[in-house]
Structure 1
Amino acid sequence: MKSEKTYTVEEAKRALERYCAYQERCHQEVEQKLREMGMIQLAIDEIIPHLIQHNFLNETRFAESFARGKFRIKNWGKNRIVRELKQKGLNERTIKLGLKEIDEDDYEAVFETLSRKRYNQLKKEKDKYRKRKKFADYLLYRGWEADRVYAKAKELIP
């Protein structure tokens, strides 16, 4: 028989303080963690406000960190970042604040670099329409804006 550890509210608060201090979290992730710990709704309703009050949990800070990280590390475009943040249950206002962390000049430079890199990977493809499709699919999947992607495809693959 599997024995699952049970937590008091105080133990759960301390555990979640460490969990939130390690990296920025959104409310949804914290609530999921509490459910995995076997906490009842009454305890969850006490712990989450405690984390917010003591500044362990801040969705604006999470959105900013998420947008910065996914853009810089994974080279995601704004569409993909917005989609992922919505999936995590953040509101429009918070998402807009998160996107402000992305510098427009950096955004342009990363798009340019990424599109050139993908274009060079497709040198062997002979059919220009398949080449354009592969090029566009790659960038669209990563969340770059469609008008920007198609304009670059026409520019690089005439």
Structure 2
Amino acid sequence: MEKEKPLKYIDKKTALLKAEAYCAYQERSQYEVRTKLLNLGLKFQELEEVITALIENNFLNEARFAQAFSQGKLRMKGWGRNKIKQGLVAKGVSVPIIKSALQKINKEEYADKLTDVLKKKHKEYQFKDDYTTKNKLIKHALSRGFEYDLIFLY
């Protein structure tokens, strides 16, 4: 049988310092920070106090995280709104904050990214008929999270 790892506990002060460093490295959601602190061994009662301190000291801000996440995934990964929304839900961000972050996406930049994604993928497809090529491009854009009605404009 496997030996169980002994439970380790971390004090509140150390947890706060580690959480501040964790949040300073890049924007984090509350869910990510909670998971990290629980894995470090912070007691559940102290967890809320640390989270509150992080919010008060502006290390943790859900709206800022959602904005950075949505902009980063659009620019770097070429994700559409639907996939960004899924990612934010998976990170535990609330629906009003998600809606706000998605509304702040620049429409021109979004359309340009869709065009770039379609052009890049179109180079890879060498089908004889346009119907197959168009279907493949639509499926690819949908898998990237772009809206169906927006895809047909291009």
TM-score, reference length from structure 1: 0.86
| Distance of 1:149 and 1:104 partners within structure 2 | 14
State the partner residue of 2:60: 57
Letter in 1 for 2:142: L
For 1:23-102, list aligned pairs within 5 A. 23-102=26-105
Give structure 1 regions of 4+ aligned residues with deviation exceeding 3 angstroms. 1-6, 127-130
Contact 1:7 1:39 (C-alpha < 8 Å) held by counterparts: yes
Deviations along 1:108-140, one digit per CA (max 9) or x if unpaired, are 111112212212221x22344432332111111
TM-score, reference length from structure 2: 0.88
State the partner residue of 1:132: 134
Letter in 2 for 1:116: K
Contact 2:9 2:41 (C-alpha < 8 Å) held by counterparts: yes
| DSSP-derived class of the 2:10 partner | coil
Which residues of structure 1 form unaligned runs of 5+?
A: 153-158
Q: Percent identity over the alignment?
A: 36
RMSD: 1.8
Deviations along 1:61-95, one digit per CA (max 9) or x if unpaired, are 00010011001101111111111112222122211
| Distance of 1:40 and 1:150 partners within structure 2 | 52
| Distance of 1:6 and 1:41 partners within structure 2 | 11
Aligned length: 151
Contact 2:9 2:43 (C-alpha < 8 Å) held by counterparts: no
